[in-house]
Structure 1
């Protein structure tokens, strides 16, 4: 089981350990975004600090229906106690955790400030 908390802005948040292939790691506070179909988005400052390798570019449809080009970087995360290789979309927003990472899991949110966020494998 993975645990997070609902913050004062009423966002479901989850700390996530993100690392590069050389085992350099950083704990990132992420916001769960069920409208984001990717794994994770991070700003360029964190991608640079972790020295994540560029993997590809992809056209992504945003919530407003517009399309934009995102650079994708390879990284490892610790997810449910296991290392998992994922792609990170570079975006100058707060770190977002998307549905590709949540796929195959149950998400439970107690939607009040300080409420619990629980993620468990199905």
Structure 2
């Protein structure tokens, strides 16, 4: 099980460690249930970690507009294990998407400072 918190803007936040070779960076990511990818990071963090570019993809944003994203590859520590994922380049705060949460239960105590828990469905059924 993983835990996070609800920030002062009532966003559910989880800390995640991103790794590329010997370069490691912890980031606080806002959980975005409207984002269908794994994780988005700014181009500055992607450059800092020297993440390898994989491909470019088209995505539809919440306002209905379409945009292109560069996709990179990285490892993250997720539920105590290394996991290879795709990283979307987006110049916003880090966002954790629904592909990352597949097979997990998300619970949020929606008060400032509230508890965010993410548990594997096999652990909660």
TM-score range, shorter chain: over 0.9
Q: Please name the residue that 1:99 is paired with.
A: 98
**SS in structure 2 at match of 1:101:** helix
TM-score in terms of structure 1 length: 0.98
1:24 Cα deviation after fit: 1.5
**SS in structure 1 at match of 2:45:** helix
Alpha-carbon distance in 1 for matches of 2:62, 2:19: 28
Q: RMSD over aligned Cα, in angstroms?
A: 0.5
**SS in structure 2 at match of 1:29:** strand
Alpha-carbon distance in 2 for matches of 1:117, 1:11: 10
TM-score in terms of structure 2 length: 0.95
Q: Please name the residue that 2:27 is paired with.
A: 28
Q: Please name the residue that 1:6 is paired with.
A: 6
Q: Please name the residue that 2:57 is paired with.
A: 58
Q: Please name the residue that 2:43 is paired with.
A: 44
Q: Please name the residue that 1:15 is paired with.
A: 15
Kindly indicate whether residue 69 of structure 2 is the aligned counterpart of residue 70 of structure 1: yes
